[in-house]
Amino acid sequence: MRRPGAHFIRNLPLQRKLMLIIMVCCTATLLVSSVFFVAREAKVLYRAQQEDLVSLADMIGKNTASALVFNDPKAAQETIRPLTAKSSILAAYVIDKDGRLFARHLAPNPGHADLPLEGLSDSASPAEVAEAVEQVKRGAYKSSFISGYASVVKPIRLDNEQVGSVVIHANATGFLHRLRWTILVALAFMAATFLAAYLFSARLQQMVSVPLLNLLDTMKEISASKNFALRVAKPSSDEIGLLYDGFNEMLCEIEERNQILRQRQAHLQQLAHYDPLTRLPNRTLFYDRLGQALFYADRAREAVAVIFIDLDHFKDINDTLGHRTGDLLLIEVASRLSTVVRSCDTVARLGGDEFTLFCQNIANADNAAVVGQKLVSLFATPFQLGASDIHVTASVGVTLFPNDGKTVDELLMNADIAMYHAKGCGKNVFALFDKKMNEHASERVTLLADLRQAVEQSEFLLHYQPKVDLLTGKVTSVEALVRWMHPRLGLLAPDKFIRLAEESGMIVELTEWVMRTACLQARAWQDANLPIRVAVNLSPYHFQRQDVKQAICSVLGATALDPSLLEIEITESALMQNDEYTCRVLGELREMGITISVDDFGTGYSSLSYLHRFPIHTLKIDRTFILNMMKSAEDQAIVTAIIAMAKSLKMQIVAEGVETVDQLETLKDQGCHEIQGFLVSRPVNAERVARFFTDDDHLQLHNACADAPGEDGAQHLIHGRT
Amino acid sequence: MQISAVLRIRSWCLRLGLLAVLPLILSRPAGLGAEGPQEYQVKGAMVFNMAKYVEWPADAFSGSGAPLIFCSVGRGPFAAALEQYRGKTVLGHPLVVRRLQTGEELGECHLLVVSGIEKRYLAGILDQARRRSVLTVSDLPDFARQGGIIGLVEQEGRVRFEINVKAAQQSRFKISSQLLKLAKIVREGDS
């Protein structure tokens, strides 16, 4: 059961509560002390009054003792009569030993309350008198305050013997008046003290309430502003000070946690929106920003260029120089890209070696082309990574909003298509997207679908290109080259579909088919007493899958071909990737009697110092060197160097793409072992290959073949001239 | 000492004493009979109480606890009325009551009650009492005027007393003003 007042007090404001406490204590103390003071004063006054009366009674007693003893009432009467002079005395009685009224005196002026002995007659019996005296004794104290008269009963003694009593009644007005005055003074004092206490408590309670209220204010401010950096100044070293300290510590803690939280959020934000390697925005952020940029561009009717950048041959760099170098190169590329764009543009890394960027506020397609060219020329200077310079180029595809697409996805897809187009155009260029490219891209998609069926439907066929020994002029071996007899597009060269096959993973099946077909053909030639060695190109894919030997063995097993009639051609980059495995497998293949040659030598990034460690029979110099050999002294020098190096490493040299007699002569002078190219023969079908070996003069035979009608008429004309 | 006592007496006399003379004369008749042993009871009590208002000379007592000796001489019931106070104390002195034969030496008496004695012996007794500082009290008529110190007289049916102050002084007594204010002061030879 809660009292109603308790609830009220509990909900009072702190200041009021403190004041209330102080005032209640103060008032209680005041009240008690005032009551004590008044009571004491009353007692003192009463005693003083009584003392007066007692001394008077004593005097009367002394003076009436003899009258009592000698039974002389008159003398007693005379003795007490002078009391009339004293106005405060209302009555005085002398009672003898027997209890009878012996003498009495009454003040002349009445107007006081009835006195107990007043009504008694002179002849009243001792019992009546005794009763009245008893009444006086009992009410002596009370009568002073209530009835307004003071009384005293005093025995009269003579030589230790009581000879009578004296009773005196006095007016108590003086006493009461003084008492009233005392109470008045006490009340005034109380009021003054109460007022002082009120004023004092109003100040005093601030010692407790002000620091707490300040704390409260700060707390409110902090919760309103969320500014946890605020601190409160400690006002004292007491419990309130400790409270402040605790509050500050709590704020510190919150601030610290907030900071950690913010850092973590920033970190998460960074992780979510930025590429950890290059610190460029990632795909998510790029899509977001591009989306916004398109939104504003649409409103402002401005153009936005969306550009797709892909590094050329990055995979080779990664494979040959290691992922660490690849990563460093990506970082360098990123920082170089960042230098050319304006602050409002965004460069992002979508993954791998693909970068994208968009430029806002592009005036027209020419403007975008300028940007594209600028990006391509960024790669003109080689990248310095540690001690080595790395030359890398990029293919750039450019699309324009709104012409080439309205949405982010569309624009990026088209930029990707344009980039592929640039790659198709020989790389290290930029390409502006146009609608035809899209058609081309859809062509690619169709082609990919066709490719999947091509293997099953046996649409591939093999052509063979012979290699001729420059000293003897005889055909030494043939290279199997795949062709796709497309039902709609006709015969397609490998450059039209090998990349597609590699991207789609179809290359594995295709290579297996090529190998099996070539081996079967070689087996057929072998059976026809024509031991012709067939070279098959192995995709780097096989080396990634680490099933090279398995695949070759199964084909050899299936065809029962003499392994010495099989030659494996691998690219330089395939050689360098996973070099330990490659080295081991090639060694095993060589053990089996298979010939190993490196295709397109000079285009990769192989470290020459490692070359001798591989079990290689033959180096095939890339056709670009041969093509430029007669025009460029540098290329001539490279060819010379490769030949010299191969000789010293005891390797065979094959020059690819030999088309003119000048080239032939030069290579012959350099000491090149074999040549391959249109000068000797274009790739031909298996039947024609057999003819090379049934004739003595191969070049002659070739010339004869040149007269025969074929698909590549233009090539025949060149051959014809030789 | 004597002077201060006298002054005190005088001051009391001035304030109350003189006025107290009147009641002695004007007091109404009491119920007490003048004859018989009742009268002597009163007189005995008066003598007993009177001793309380009288200061004996310093050499009258050998010490503070020394007995106060009441002697009586002569015939009559007065002497018998004193007997009841034997053994009581007056101002710290135990009371001794003695009965003397006429002509007997007063000896150590402090107070002598004379009653029912022939006139011819009176002068001799008073003379001896005066010399030995013995307070003399008697109900003989005009006792105080004849040289006694306190005489008990009957007035308006009440027993009153007369005091011969001079005789008291001669015997070196100091009589309290309280007693004096109730008494009639007489001198030797007064009528």
For A544, counting Cβ atoms within 10 Å of its Cβ (0-12 exposed, 13-18 middle, 19+ buried), the class is middle
Residue A190 maps to which CATH number?
A: 3.30.450
Contact between A436 and A463 under an 8 Å Cβ cutoff? The reply is no
Predicted pLDDT of residue B34: 39
Q: Is the dihedral of CA A210, A212, A216, A218 positive or negative?
A: positive
Closest by Cα among B104, B150, B173, B176 to A63: B176
Choose the weakest-confidence range: A304-313, A451-460, A528-537. Answer: A451-460
Task: Say if B1 is an interface residue toward chain A (CB within 8 Å).
Answer: no
Q: Which residue of A74, A79, A159 is in closest CB contact with B22?
A: A74
Query: Last residue of a domain, which of A220, A244, A271?
Result: A271
Residue A537 maps to which CATH number?
A: 3.20.20.450
Q: Which residue of A70, A73, A77 is in closest CB contact with B49?
A: A70
B161 contacts on A by Cβ (under 8 Å): 70
Bridging pattern class, strands A149-158 and A161-171:
antiparallel
- Contacts for B65 with CB less than 8 Å, ≥ 6 apart: B92, B93, B94
Predicted pLDDT of residue B29: 39
Token pair of B15, please?
Answer: 């304030």
Best mutation target among A59, A62, A63, A66 (most B Cβ atoms within 10 Å) is: A66
Residue A202: inside a domain: no
Please say if the pLDDT value at position A42 is more than 80: yes
Task: Say if B176 is an interface residue toward chain A (CB within 8 Å).
Answer: yes
B150 contacts on A by Cβ (under 8 Å): none
Chain B: residue nearest A66 by CA? B178
A85 contacts on B by Cβ (under 8 Å): none
Token pair of A491, please?
Answer: 């015969």
B20 contacts on A by Cβ (under 8 Å): 67, 72, 74-75, 78-79
Neighbours of A249 (CB within 10 A): 10
Q: Return the number of CB contacts < 8 Å for A and B.
A: 55
What's the Cα-to-Cα distance from A257 to each of A224, A225, A349, A410, rounded to whole Å?
19, 17, 33, 44
Please say if the pLDDT value at position A652 is more than 50: yes
Predicted TM-score (pTM) of this structure: 0.46
Choose the weakest-confidence range: A103-107, A201-205, A341-345, A644-648. Answer: A341-345
Contact between A116 and A124 under an 8 Å Cβ cutoff? The reply is no
Residue B184: inside a domain: no
Cβ of B23 within 8 Å of Cβ of A66? The answer is no
Query: How many whole angstroms separate alpha carbon A147 and alpha carbon A144?
Result: 6
Query: How many whole angstroms separate alpha carbon A227 and alpha carbon A224?
Result: 8
Give the 3-state secondary structure of residue A451: helix
B176 contacts on A by Cβ (under 8 Å): 66
Best mutation target among A84, A123, A159, A161 (most B Cβ atoms within 10 Å) is: A159
Contact between A582 and A542 under an 8 Å Cβ cutoff? The reply is no
Cβ of A77 within 8 Å of Cβ of B23? The answer is yes
Residues A49-53, mean pLDDT to the nearest whole number: 88
Neighbours of A374 (CB within 10 A): 13
Closest by Cα among A659, A679, A654, A686 to A464: A686
Residue B86: inside a domain: yes
For A495, counting Cβ atoms within 10 Å of its Cβ (0-12 exposed, 13-18 middle, 19+ buried), the class is exposed
Q: Which residue of B20, B52, B89 is in closest CB contact with A75?
A: B20
Cβ of A78 within 8 Å of Cβ of B53? The answer is no
What's the Cα-to-Cα distance from A564 to each of A518, A538, A592, A619, B51, rounded to whole Å?
14, 17, 8, 18, 180
Give the 3-state secondary structure of residue A610: helix
Closest by Cα among A393, A395, A385 to A321: A385
Neighbours of A509 (CB within 10 A): 15
A77 contacts on B by Cβ (under 8 Å): 23
Contact between A704 and A682 under an 8 Å Cβ cutoff? The reply is no
Residue A440: inside a domain: no
Cβ of B182 within 8 Å of Cβ of A82? The answer is no
In degrees, to the nearest 5, what angle opens at C-alpha A242 toward C-alphas A240 and A248? 105
In degrees, to the nearest 5, what angle opens at C-alpha A261 toward C-alphas A256 and A264? 125
Query: How many whole angstroms separate alpha carbon B96 and alpha carbon B102?
Result: 19
Cβ of A72 within 8 Å of Cβ of B91? The answer is no
Cβ of B20 within 8 Å of Cβ of A77? The answer is no
Query: How many whole angstroms separate alpha carbon A499 and alpha carbon A476?
Result: 29
Is A627 in the same domain as A690?
A: yes
Please say if the pLDDT value at position A571 is more than 70: yes
Closest by Cα among B155, B168, B169 to B22: B155
Residue A203: inside a domain: no
Residue B62: inside a domain: yes
Residues spanned by the domain of A581: 455-721
Is A41 in the same domain as A185?
A: yes
Chain A: residue nearest B51 by CA? A159
User: In this predicted model, what pLDDT tens digit does every residue of A121-168 receive, in sequence order?
Assistant: 878 888 888 888 888 888 877 777 777 788 889 999 888 888 899 998
Tokens 């003189």 belong to which residue?
A: B18
| Segment holding A149, helix H or strand E | strand A149-158
Cβ of A63 within 8 Å of Cβ of B49? The answer is no
DSSP code string of A33-92 = HHHHHHHHHHHHHHHHHHHHHHHHHHHHHHHHHHHHHTT-HHHHHHHHGGGGGSTTEEEE
Cβ of A72 within 8 Å of Cβ of B52? The answer is no
Closest by Cα among A36, A287, A17 to A183: A36
Give the 3-state secondary structure of residue A156: strand
Please say if the pLDDT value at position B52 is more than 70: yes
DSSP code string of A298-361 = HHHT-EEEEEEEEETTHHHHHHHH-HHHHHHHHHHHHHHHHHHS-TTSEEEEEETTEEEEEEEE
Residue A478: inside a domain: yes
Contact between A662 and A441 under an 8 Å Cβ cutoff? The reply is no
Q: Which residue of A66, A74, A79 is in closest CB contact with B27?
A: A74
Give the 3-state secondary structure of residue A395: strand
Residue B51: inside a domain: yes
Query: How many whole angstroms separate alpha carbon B156 and alpha carbon A72?
Result: 13
Query: How many whole angstroms separate alpha carbon A274 and alpha carbon A170?
Result: 111
Give the 3-state secondary structure of residue B184: strand
Tokens 């592929």 belong to which residue?
A: A420
Is A482 in the same domain as A370?
A: no
Contact between A597 and A567 under an 8 Å Cβ cutoff? The reply is yes
Q: How confident is the model at residue A464 (pLDDT cuts 50, 70, 90)?
A: very high
Residue A379 maps to which CATH number?
A: 3.30.70.270
Predicted pLDDT of residue A605: 63
Q: Which residue of A69, A79, A82 is in closest CB contact with B49?
A: A69
B179 contacts on A by Cβ (under 8 Å): 66, 70
Contact between A573 and A326 under an 8 Å Cβ cutoff? The reply is no
**Cα within 13 Å of Cα(A546), Cβ side:** 5
Is A288 in the same domain as A255?
A: no
Residues A392-413, mean pLDDT to the nearest whole number: 89
Query: How many whole angstroms separate alpha carbon B92 and alpha carbon A589?
Result: 161
Is A61 in the same domain as A125?
A: yes
Task: Say if B47 is an interface residue toward chain A (CB within 8 Å).
Answer: no
Please say if the pLDDT value at position A705 is more than 50: no
Residue A212: inside a domain: yes
Cβ of B26 within 8 Å of Cβ of A74? The answer is yes
Taking any CB pair shorter than 8 Å as contact, residues of chain A touching chain B are 62-63, 65-67, 69-75, 77-79, 82, 158-159
Please say if the pLDDT value at position A657 is more than 80: yes
Token pair of A686, please?
Answer: 């298996």
Residues A218-236, mean pLDDT to the nearest whole number: 87
Task: Say if B81 is an interface residue toward chain A (CB within 8 Å).
Answer: no
Chain A: residue nearest B183 by CA? A70
Cβ of A70 within 8 Å of Cβ of B24? The answer is no
Average pLDDT, chain B: 78
Give the 3-state secondary structure of residue B161: strand
Task: Say if B22 is an interface residue toward chain A (CB within 8 Å).
Answer: yes
User: In this predicted model, what pLDDT tens digit does every residue of B108-128 receive, in sequence order?
Assistant: 889 999 888 777 888 888 888
Choose the weakest-confidence range: A130-139, A390-399, A702-711, B53-62. Answer: A702-711
Q: How far is B103 from chain A (nearest CA, A)?
A: 32
Cβ of B23 within 8 Å of Cβ of A63? The answer is no
- Rounded to 10°, the helix A206-225/A14-69 angle is 170
Domain count, chain A: 4
Q: Is the dihedral of CA A659, A660, A663, A664 positive or negative?
A: positive
Q: How confident is the model at residue B3 (pLDDT cuts 50, 70, 90)?
A: very low
Please state the φ and ψ torsions of residue A94, each to the nearest 5 degrees.
Answer: -115, 130
Q: How far is B75 from chain A (nearest CA, A)?
A: 25
Residue B158: inside a domain: yes
Q: Which residue of B15, B27, B178 is in closest CB contact with A65?
A: B178
Residue B21: inside a domain: no
Q: How far is B35 from chain A (nearest CA, A)?
A: 18
Overall size of chain A counted in residues: 722
Give the 3-state secondary structure of residue B185: strand
Q: How confident is the model at residue B32 (pLDDT cuts 50, 70, 90)?
A: very low
Q: What is the DSSP letter of A15?
A: H
Is A122 in the same domain as A164?
A: yes
Task: Say if B41 is an interface residue toward chain A (CB within 8 Å).
Answer: no
Is A248 in the same domain as A283?
A: no
Token pair of B107, please?
Answer: 């000896």
B24 contacts on A by Cβ (under 8 Å): 72, 74-75
Contact between A337 and A375 under an 8 Å Cβ cutoff? The reply is yes
Is A171 in the same domain as A261?
A: no
Q: How confident is the model at residue A224 (pLDDT cuts 50, 70, 90)?
A: very high
Token pair of A58, please?
Answer: 């004593």
Q: How confident is the model at residue A112 (pLDDT cuts 50, 70, 90)?
A: low
Residue B183: inside a domain: no
Query: How many whole angstroms separate alpha carbon B56 and alpha carbon B129?
Result: 13
Query: How many whole angstroms separate alpha carbon A152 and alpha carbon A141?
Result: 10
Query: How many whole angstroms separate alpha carbon A692 and alpha carbon A108?
Result: 181
Residue B76 maps to which CATH number?
A: 3.40.50
Q: How confident is the model at residue A701 (pLDDT cuts 50, 70, 90)?
A: very low
Q: How confident is the model at residue B74 (pLDDT cuts 50, 70, 90)?
A: confident
Cβ of B24 within 8 Å of Cβ of A72? The answer is yes
Q: How far is A195 from chain B (nearest CA, A)?
A: 57
Cβ of A66 within 8 Å of Cβ of B182? The answer is yes
Residue A244: inside a domain: yes
Q: Which residue did the predictor score with more confidence, A463 or A423?
A: A463
Residue A449: inside a domain: no
Token pair of A594, please?
Answer: 């298979």
Chain B: residue nearest A69 by CA? B49
Q: Which residue of A63, A72, A82 is in closest CB contact with B23?
A: A72
Q: Which residue of B19, B91, B178 is in closest CB contact with A78?
A: B19
Residue A174: inside a domain: yes
User: In this predicted model, what pLDDT tens digit does every residue of B134-176 receive, in sequence order?
Assistant: 999 998 888 888 888 999 988 888 888 899 998 888 888 899 8
Is A25 in the same domain as A59?
A: yes
User: In this predicted model, what pLDDT tens digit does every residue of A237-294 receive, in sequence order?
Assistant: 888 899 999 999 999 999 999 999 999 998 888 888 888 898 899 898 999 999 999 9
Residues spanned by the domain of B143: 30-174
Query: How many whole angstroms separate alpha carbon B144 and alpha carbon A578?
Result: 171
Name the CA dihedral angle for A175, A179, A180, A181, rounded to a multiple of 10 degrees. Answer: 100
Cβ of B22 within 8 Å of Cβ of A78? The answer is yes
Query: Last residue of a domain, which of A248, A271, A294?
Result: A271
Predicted pLDDT of residue B30: 39
Domain count, chain B: 1
Is A495 in the same domain as A510?
A: yes
Residues A544-555, mean pLDDT to the nearest whole number: 82
Average pLDDT, chain A: 84
Residue B71: inside a domain: yes
Best mutation target among B90, B152, B181 (most A Cβ atoms within 10 Å) is: B181
Give the 3-state secondary structure of residue A444: helix
Cα maximum dimension of chain B: 44
